[in-house]
Amino acid sequence: MAEQTSGLPLAEALARLLQRFPGPLQSLGVERLPLPRALERVLAEPLLAPAAVPGFRAAVMDGYALRSADLAQHPRRQLPLLGCSTAGTPWPQPLERPGVVRIMTGAAVPEGADAVVPQELVTCRSLSDGSAAVVIEAAVRAGQWIRPIGEEATAGALLQKVGSLLGPVEIARAIGCGLREAVVQRRPRVALLISGSELRPAGEPLGPGQIHDSNGPLLAALLQRLGVALVERRWVDDDPTRLEQALLAMARRCDVLISTGGVSVGEGDHVRPLLERLGRLEFWRVLLKPGRPFACGELAGVAFFGLPGNPVSATVTFLQLVWPVLQQLEGREPRAWPRLRVRLREPLQRRAGRPELLRAQLESDGAGNAWARVCGAQGSARLGSLLGADLLLELNADTTSLPAGAAVMAQLLRQSLL
């Protein structure tokens, strides 16, 4: 097969994974949560508005509510002040004769009134009998500065469909429409195995040839930031028996098993052969830099993804291939990273070979043009290339040099707030 010698193209690899692991996982089931606790969760049942919102006509401006017909022939007519309508305390009487009601933003418009005049277009007067009146200084049209009933949602309207991701705005809108809870998909349980005899935990003294484990903290924090439920994180050395025991034990506790390291062809790389023996190997090489060694399939009945051992390679392959599958397993439509065209701040040199995703920072000039500054040396073991990385620059396999100012396509890694 082609991927055994050169690797699958990234787009083909992702398409195969999404087809292989469709979602949502029926074994997970659903749960009902209060809406404030459902942030970043995926809807399993639609959200429907129980009633129209707003349920009354509301003033959009501080001013005066009136009947526009009373000014049809006399645009500067003086009208008596009849009362006041404030937010939460509406004027209780219908407006059945010429006059105005003082009204505040968000307050209910009295029955009979069909317009609101902003207060800056009104002159107030005190009359000799102790009452007050106003003079309208501008033309008035019916419906002005009034929020109609059902502007946000009509009764029974679909607020969010099944599969929608609940962000801050979706939650606030549903609560504003009178809902309290949402039925959401349970999240896939993810376990993370870090392999490598050379690794030591943070702060431990290092022996010859040893390094501190950065992959574990990096991937665990990335999963947390993306809202993924991490149920176990374990380190195992490069002993095939201990690796097998760990993989089988962890598979019993999770829905998705992710490992890093041990998926290449070295004498100490045991994860891929174990996957072939204990489960099913879908493919194990991707035509991508960084991140060519990538094993995926099914192990002991759960989805398995074997990331490369170098931290940058592990991060890039996770973002390109694993994160979309995790989204799909939770029941939402996988969202590709937004793409935009940027220009290089500095010239770029590289060797032809595999397609490459370069880490870069996004900059903007005074004219609003998007620029990219490559984050230093791009070695797959150099975590510094991920520092401040907003972009993954997409370079073709045959690209060797680009001048400053050259336009390239890039993936935007930053998540939206709303």
What end-to-end distance do the CA atoms of the chain give, in Å? 44
Q: How does pLDDT run across 184-194, given as a tens digit for each residue? A: 999 999 999 99
Cis peptide before 290 (omega within 30 of 0): yes
User: Using 50, 70 and 90 to split pLDDT, how confident is the model at 396?
Assistant: very high
Q: How does pLDDT run across 304-319, given as a tens digit for each residue? A: 999 999 999 999 999 9
Is the model's pLDDT at 296 over the cut of 90?
yes
User: Using 50, 70 and 90 to split pLDDT, how confident is the model at 77?
Assistant: confident
Mean pLDDT of 347-373: 94
Confidence at residue 264, expressed as pLDDT on a 0 to 100 scale: 75
Mean pLDDT of 10-15: 96
Residue with tokens 């004219």: 367
Mean pLDDT of 361-389: 93
Mean pLDDT of 20-33: 89
User: Using 50, 70 and 90 to split pLDDT, how confident is the model at 79?
Assistant: very high
Q: What angle do CA 49, 53, 56 make, to 5 degrees?
A: 145
User: Using 50, 70 and 90 to split pLDDT, how confident is the model at 3?
Assistant: very low
CATH superfamily of 10-29+187-330: MoaB/Mog-like domain (3.40.980.10)
User: Using 50, 70 and 90 to split pLDDT, how confident is the model at 268?
Assistant: low
Question: How many CB atoms lie under 10 A from the CB of residue 188?
Answer: 26
Mean residue pLDDT across the chain: 93
Question: How many CB atoms lie under 10 A from the CB of residue 161?
Answer: 10
User: Using 50, 70 and 90 to split pLDDT, how confident is the model at 137?
Assistant: confident
Domain boundaries, the chain: 10-29+187-330, 34-48+158-185, 58-147, 339-412
Mean pLDDT of 289-295: 91
Q: Which fold has domain 58-147?
A: Molybdopterin biosynthesis moeA protein; domain 3 (2.170.190)
Mean pLDDT of 280-306: 93
Confidence at residue 322, expressed as pLDDT on a 0 to 100 scale: 97
Is the model's pLDDT at 183 over the cut of 60?
yes
- Per the model's pLDDT, the better-predicted residue between 76 and 241 turns out to be 241
Confidence at residue 26, expressed as pLDDT on a 0 to 100 scale: 81
User: Using 50, 70 and 90 to split pLDDT, how confident is the model at 23?
Assistant: confident
Mean pLDDT of 208-235: 94
Residue with tokens 């035509």: 287
User: Using 50, 70 and 90 to split pLDDT, how confident is the model at 284?
Assistant: confident
Confidence at residue 4, expressed as pLDDT on a 0 to 100 scale: 41
Three state DSSP letters for the chain:
CHHHCCCEEHHHHHHHHHHHCCCCCCCCCEEEEEHHHCCCCEECCCEECCCCECCCCEECCCEEEECHHHHCCCCCCEEEEEEEEECCECCCCCCCCCCEEEECCCCECCCCCCEEEEHHHEEEEECCCCCEEEEECCCCCCCCCEECCCCCECCCCEEECCCCECCHHHHHHHHHCCCCEEEEECCCEEEEEEECCCEECCCCCCCCCCEECCHHHHHHHHHHHCCCEEEEEEEECCCHHHHHHHHHHHHCCCCEEEEECCCCCCCCCCHHHHHHHHEEEEEEEEECECCCEEEEEEECCEEEEEECCCHHHHHHHHHHHHHHHHHHHCCCCCCCCCEEEEEECCCEECCCCCCEEEEEEEEECCCCCEEEEECCCCCCCCHHHHCCCCEEEEECCCCCEECCCCEEEEEECCCCCC
User: Using 50, 70 and 90 to split pLDDT, how confident is the model at 25?
Assistant: confident
Top-tier CATH class for 339-412: mainly beta
User: Using 50, 70 and 90 to split pLDDT, how confident is the model at 1?
Assistant: very low
Nearest to 157 by CA among 172, 169, 173: 173
* pLDDT above 70 coverage of the chain, percent: 98
Q: How does pLDDT run across 80-110, given as a tens digit for each residue? A: 999 999 999 999 999 999 999 999 999 999 9
Q: How does pLDDT run across 163-179, given as a tens digit for each residue? A: 999 999 999 999 999 99
Return all residues near 407 (Cβ < 8 A) that are at least 6 apart: 341, 342, 343
Q: For residue 372, which amino acid is it? A: A
Contact 359, 385 (CB under 8 A): yes
User: Using 50, 70 and 90 to split pLDDT, how confident is the model at 72?
Assistant: confident
* pLDDT above 90 coverage of the chain, percent: 85
Is the model's pLDDT at 76 over the cut of 80?
no
Question: How many CB atoms lie under 10 A from the CB of residue 15?
Answer: 12
Is the model's pLDDT at 75 over the cut of 70?
no
Contact 342, 362 (CB under 8 A): yes
Is the model's pLDDT at 151 over the cut of 80?
yes
